[in-house]
Amino acid sequence: MHTLLLVDDDPDVLATLTRSFRKGYKTLSANGGEEGIAFLNVHPVDLIICDQRMPNISGDQVLSHALQIQPHAIRILLTGYADVESLLTCVNDAHIYKYVTKPWDPAELNLTVVRALESLVLKRDLDTARDQLETAYKDAVVMLCLAAEGKDQDTSSHLYRVQHYTEALAVAMGVANETAAHMGLMSMLHDIGKLATPDAILKKPDKLTEEEWDIMREHPLAGVRILGNNPFYETAREISAGHHENYDGTGYPHRLRGDNIPLSARIVKIVDVFDALTTKRPYKEPWPMEEAITHIESHAGIMFDPAMVEELKNLFIDGTLTRIKSAF
């Protein structure tokens, strides 16, 4: 059952509104703007009907507060006078669904509430579907990563560390938090192209021949093909294609240089190398973080973006890298 908050400083108007909506809805009645705001601070509501002209706190102020504290609640303004300025303020500041003039037609107001709540239900259903779709995409990322991991005998811990290193470094580079989180998720797919690389090459214990290296260097673009054309994976395609490029233009597959390498790929390149250096592998012991940072600094401007090297160093100094490594 939907909850309606009715706000008016006139007890008779409140009683009339309550009688109109008490069948089929849970109604809360607030006598004036101050009480309306107090209700909003405590009770979740689906729809608010609020008078404009009230002492101390006007209707547009109540609905503006509602927008801030319960943004998904539908806001309807009752007004008994022609005050264009107040209406414009309410439309602009409170983003009202509709305004209704006094005296109102009960049937029309009831229909307005029905239509408004239908739109609310539809929006909630769409939000749920969107969240489910986003979860499905994220699950697909993890499944693809696990498939690639099995081919390369890597560990899921490496992928999760790269994810969180990427997110932290992206934020340090000024990327918005939500975008950085998505970039971190997409970083897990950086080596997805190895699904197309023969096992004989991936698992070869000896040094690769030049011909085998040529095949190995195909995996960035193989990853782009595997990731298809869905816009959700655009960042993953950038990372796959560019995470073996070098800042000085000596990398592969396109020998891109400097800022021509996508930001996401430059970030994943440096954190992938950092994690490889600081993680135990069958052929080596883990490097201390200090040594890894020093090694990376020595390749600033050659393999790595110098600005990112500095930010990675700062993440080491403030303990962020250590916290991530400890968690995964």
- Structure confidence by residue, pLDDT tens digits, 265-319: 999 999 999 999 999 877 789 999 999 999 999 999 999 999 999 999 999 999 9
Across 119-123, 154-158, 233-237, least confident range: 154-158
> With b meaning 16 or more CB within 10 Å and e meaning fewer, what string describes 241-270?
bbbbbbbeeebbbeebeeeebbbbbbbbbb
pLDDT classification of 87: cutoffs 50, 70, 90: low
Q: Is 132-327 a domain of CATH 1.10.3720.10?
A: no
Query: What's the pLDDT score for residue 154?
Result: 52
DSSP 195: G
Contact assessment for residue 169 and residue 315, using Cβ atoms and an 8 Å cutoff: yes
Across 37-51, 70-84, 206-220, least confident range: 70-84
Query: What's the pLDDT score for residue 83?
Result: 60
Q: Report the pLDDT averaged over residues 132-149.
A: 79
Q: Of these residues, 194, 203, 280, 325, which one is catalytic?
A: 194
Angle at Cα 239 formed by Cα 237 and Cα 245, nearest 5°?
Answer: 120
Instruction: Clarify whether 194 is annotated catalytic.
Output: yes
Query: What's the pLDDT score for residue 91?
Result: 62
156-172 vs 263-278: helix crossing angle, rounded to 10: 130
Query: What's the pLDDT score for residue 130?
Result: 87
pLDDT of 149 above 80: no
Element of type H or E holding 74: strand 74-79
Query: What's the pLDDT score for residue 94?
Result: 59
Write down the pTM of the prediction: 0.68
Angle at Cα 274 formed by Cα 171 and Cα 139, nearest 5°?
Answer: 60
Query: What's the pLDDT score for residue 279?
Result: 92
Query: What's the pLDDT score for residue 88?
Result: 63
DSSP 259: G
Give me the chain's average pLDDT, please.
Answer: 90
pLDDT of 92 above 80: no
Domain-by-domain residue ranges, the chain? 3-104, 132-327
CA dist 157 → 53, 110, 193, 304, 327 (Å): 60, 56, 19, 23, 9
pLDDT classification of 85: cutoffs 50, 70, 90: low
pLDDT classification of 204: cutoffs 50, 70, 90: confident
Q: Report the pLDDT averaged over residues 127-132.
A: 89
Name the more confident of 145 and 73. Answer: 73
- How far apart (Å, rounded) are the C-alpha atoms in residues 202 and 210? 14
pLDDT of 153 above 60: no
pLDDT of 139 above 80: yes
Element of type H or E holding 136: helix 106-152
pLDDT of 220 above 90: yes
Query: What's the pLDDT score for residue 228?
Result: 92
Query: What's the pLDDT score for residue 217?
Result: 95
Q: Report the pLDDT averaged over residues 106-119.
A: 90
Contact assessment for residue 245 and residue 255, using Cβ atoms and an 8 Å cutoff: yes
Q: Report the pLDDT averaged over residues 53-71.
A: 90
Superfamily of domain 3-104: Response regulator (3.40.50.2300)
Write the single-letter amino acid at 104: W
Contact assessment for residue 184 and residue 167, using Cβ atoms and an 8 Å cutoff: yes
Cβ-based neighbours of 167, under 8 Å, separated by 6 or more: 180, 181, 183, 184
pLDDT of 163 above 90: yes
Q: Report the pLDDT averaged over residues 236-244.
A: 97
Length of the chain as a residue count: 328
